[in-house]
Chain A
Amino acid sequence: MDNAKTKILIIEDDQFLREFYQELLQGERYIVEAEPDGEKGLEAIRQGQYNLILLDIMMPKIDGLQVLRDLKINPGNFKNTPIVVLTNLGQDAIIKQAFDLGAAGYLIKSALSPDQVLKEIQSYLQKNP
């Protein structure tokens, strides 16, 4: 699929990391939108049409797991877009919870180099064009 037609949403509270992932993905010609917390993120997911959503866990207002939970109750326009958790929390219990709540993948920021993150994102997009 053409990257220029692929829309990715990033929900990340750390400004530097948010802008970094945005720039990294824009560098690959993806269309990128970004939200700084779970509340705004949830709103965007329910309204927009994305090809992939990157979701942080530890965030103010609504955390990532709660976003997944709320989305189950009230999905709005959200339809099976893969949501990949992108976090620095590596606890098994949280990973399991995220998958149980419908996450398509789980990436640990500190364990992956930027090109590895890109590779992972590409593989999720290929699985769900």
Chain B
Amino acid sequence: MVYFAKWKIILVAIVCLFGIASAFPNFLSEEDAAGLPGFLPSQQINLGLDLQGGSHLLLEVDVASVLSQRREGTVDSIRDGLRRGSPRIGYRRLGVRGECVGFDLLREADLDRARRIVRDLETNSFDPTLDIDVDGLSITVCATQTGQREILTSAVQQSIEIVRRRIDELGTREPTIQRQGSDRILVQVPGLDDPERLKALIGTTAKMTFHLVDQSNSAAASCGSGRRRPPGTVCLPSVEDRDANNNPLMYLVKRRVMVDGENLVDAQATFQDGQAVVSFRFDSVGARRFGDVTRQNVGQPFAIVLDKKVISAPVIREAILGGNGIISGNFTINTAQDLALLLRAGALPAPLTVLEERTVGAELGADSIAAGEFASVLAVILVIVFMAAAYGMFGLMADVALVLNIVLIAAVLSMLQATLTLPGIAGIVLTIGMAVDANVLIFERIREEARNGRTPISAVDSGYSRALTTIIDANITTLIAAVLLFQFGSGPIKGFAVTLAIGLLTSMFTAIMVTRMMVVTWLHRRRPKKLPL
């Protein structure tokens, strides 16, 4: 006898009501949804960047540069340590040797002390980050696998922090910035009107340093291929200024960093004599150093270097003691603002490379939503009409289930806060077509059983039970495809996999539970002699 347990009816009713309540906020404006009473769900479906407009950037931290910087840092630390030793530890040939750092001691007696100095650089006592190799008087220090991983992790985390600060300065809402893989950062910024500016901001390392310019030698004589630079100096190109041959003007600056941009606490774009400039302020350490350097070098040019390019090299007119200063260059108000922003947010530990960009304008997003909505509604109408025409009253029951199915998909998407993308909409439309499949299977089976001479009730009964295995077998195969798509797909494709999988599960529920309940209830009420199928 066909019978539907009370608890099942209640369960179905609860799921449906809950589904409707969860899907409901999506039909309201954002403000109205937020204003719903607390006991009702108010979460709306998250729209993907391809629907709401925005930029998706995949960035890569320059691992080689991170490691090479760290090697330079190790050289400096070792030098400091050796020099500070008392009595002094004699050494020579301290420098980067391939992937490692090495130096030679002058006396064997210093070996233990030198080893201890290097050992002190160790950051992790459980899992060594440094591999120290002693060969006679020669010591080689290499980062272990763990060490390299730690260096990379901290560089990526620091980069994420800096990128977040920079993007926050742009005043966009809810950017997503997360680590992906070992050396990548995924940035998703919704609703941005100038993706080029975003890329320029992220693509700048913004490492600022202040150097003295070497006055005793001329840049023209020292820079360029085949010319010798005096020791302790470096040739850096100007950002803006060009020489007669339209090559960037070169500056010969002292390698030693007098003041570091790390000590900046604030930077703002302002005007000075009608020219856009960036004013900055140092913290106490920076202010003291800046004061010392400027006091000792009045009359000398002082190069302001950003990412190995000289912004300008003004002559120091007097000691600047308050820790405030101004950078002038050929700025427009926009470039001055961006530089101020970068200085405020801080420098990236290593350059970031944009591996992939996908930017969608808000207008295209809105068009996509409109087109997707129209196609979905049309698909629903077509399928509803077709099902009614093919199965009459049973078809209408399947139609109710279909509509409920869509409501449930919206509900699950809202509850999981899954992201709906344009391919995701395609997934919903596809589900609309395929969701009725379970019902079609069942109805066809019932028809067949009835034709074989079963009574309506027995036909319905065996129709459902026999179709069930087929439905499950058939849906699991599609679910396999959806799961793999989710695993291997990127962004929008993941969205497709999500709606496809949710749609399959909800359609199984609506077909097996909801239409069955309707059919059974109808059979009990009417007790028909013949099925209208």
- Say whether A and B bind each other: no
**Which A residues are closer than 8 A to B by beta carbons?**
none
**Which B residues are closer than 8 A to A by beta carbons?**
none
